[in-house]
Amino acid sequence: MDTPDQVSIGVLADKGLPGQVITAIADDLPRVLAARVSGETRWGVEHRVEQLPLDEDGDIPMRSLSQQYRQDRGWDLLVLITDLPRRTGARPVVAGIDVEHGVAMISMPALGAVLVRRRARRLLVRVVRQLVSQRFGIEGDQGRRGLADRLGEVLAPTQRVSGGHQSAASHLALVGLRGRLRLLAGMVRDNRPWRLVPHLAGATAAAAGTAAYGVITSSFWKLADALSPLRLAGITVVTVVIMVVWLMVYNHLWDRPSEAVERRKAVLYNASTAATLAIGVLCMYTILYVLAALAAVVLIDSGYFAQTLGHPVGMGSYLNLVWLCSSVGIVAGALGSSLEDEETVRKATYSRRERERQEGNRGRREDRPT
């Protein structure tokens, strides 16, 4: 096997987070590959950001994309980066590597919610090292890898899964509870739960109106004064749960597929949806709390407040009132969310790629002859 003096690598990334990450690290990749794979080889890296296509089964056609882009662009290797969760059997996949066709695919959600760029760069170097080692015989110098890289590979909740003795394909799968939690965190991050608040204008208006009413109502003052912080915290938890459950049930966000394989996938999707909604509702709660606190300070005279409660008041009395009003407002927000269009809520809870994939698969199933 002749070892090439130069290797050209193409990176094709989905729009969104994958595109942002590869754009940020692409210029530095030739230097990183020279330092961590082989300094005797010249590395060329080009990247493109576009939506990766799906085949009729909802999978990304790695081999056909490799043939197309390597031929058209003159790349030696192709690395695909997607924001869709990938699986091999029941195992979630971080990366798939097909040495025979010179292509690898990285699933961005499997990198988790933190240190995404660092993990993406480390994983990209790892899959390129495997491709060039088995395809071109470029073994490189294993000592070039830093201690952090070696520890990262050893400590990561991943396991290499072979595609079988007749296949040069392999996968890097997430294992254990830590691996699944990392995938869940990555999916929630990709959903960007903070987008929930602007997408729920009706719910936010109902919550704000109810909280404002509570701030100026003396019965709320007395009730908040009588409740302990522990009970107020319990009320907050209950109201957030009510809001999340209402959003999931009313907007049909809970997946209940009939097939066993799809049910295993749905567990993860449902968990990511619930976590996304919970974080989004907490963001709404925080905004509501701040606005209600400002309204309470501006509208409620401390002397009249103390006279109504029958004892001196301090900042704690104001904060307890705002705490109760915000919690009650969130319950009203759940009812207000009924005014929202279902698709509007879905846009705030599903990543665009996952939604398009689901709609595409649904359309293909409907088009299939019975």
**116 occurs within a structural domain:** yes
In a domain, 361, yes or no: no
Check residue 166 and give its pLDDT. 46
Least trusted range by pLDDT, from 32-41, 141-150, 319-328, 344-353: 141-150
pLDDT given at position 331: 87
Closest of 280, 285, 297, 279 to residue 324, by C-alpha: 285
Average pLDDT over residues 325-338: 84
The top-scoring range by mean pLDDT among 18-27, 175-184, 344-353 is 18-27
Examine the fold and report which residue of 182, 214, 238 is the final residue of a domain before the chain moves on: 182
More confident residue, 163 or 164: 163
Q: Which of 132, 147, 182 is a domain's end point?
A: 182
Q: 222 with 144, same domain?
A: no
Which pTM value belongs to this model? 0.80
Asked whether residue 357 is assigned to any structural domain, the reply reads no
pLDDT of residue 51: 86
Q: How far apart are the first and last CA of the chain?
A: 51
Instruction: Note whether 174 and 27 are same-domain residues.
Output: yes
Query: Where is pLDDT greater, at 361 or 286?
Result: 286
- Read off the pLDDT of each residue in 262-286 and give the average, rounded to a whole number: 85
| Mean pLDDT, rounded, for 187-197 | 84
Give me the residues paired with residue 47 across strands.
Answer: 11
- Average pLDDT estimate for 120-149: 77
Weakest-pLDDT range from 118-132, 195-209, 296-310? 195-209
**Same domain flag for 13 and 161:** yes
Average pLDDT for 124-153: 72
Residue 33 · residue 144 · CB < 8 Å: no
- Residues 143 and 262 grouped into a single domain: no
370 versus 140: which is more confidently predicted? 140
Q: Return the SS3 of 114.
A: coil
Mean pLDDT, residues 321-339: 85
Domain CATH code at residue 32: 3.40.390
Residue 198 pLDDT grade (very low, low, confident, very high; cuts 50, 70, 90): confident
- Overall domain count for the chain: 2
Structure tokens at 98: 């097909």
Between 131 and 369, whose confidence is greater? 131
Specify the pairing of strand 77-82 against strand 103-107: parallel
Length in residues, the chain: 370
More confident call, 294 vs 179: 294
Full domain range(s) for residue 93 = 6-182
Average pLDDT over residues 309-329: 93
**What local confidence, expressed as pLDDT, does residue 347 receive?**
64
Residue 74, Ramachandran bin (φ over 0: left; ψ between -120 and 50: alpha; else beta): left
Mean pLDDT, residues 231-253? 90
Residues 6+ apart with CB under 8 A from 12: 47, 48, 50, 52, 65, 69, 78, 79, 80, 81
Same domain, 158 and 244: no
Closest of 28, 12, 15 to residue 117, by C-alpha: 28
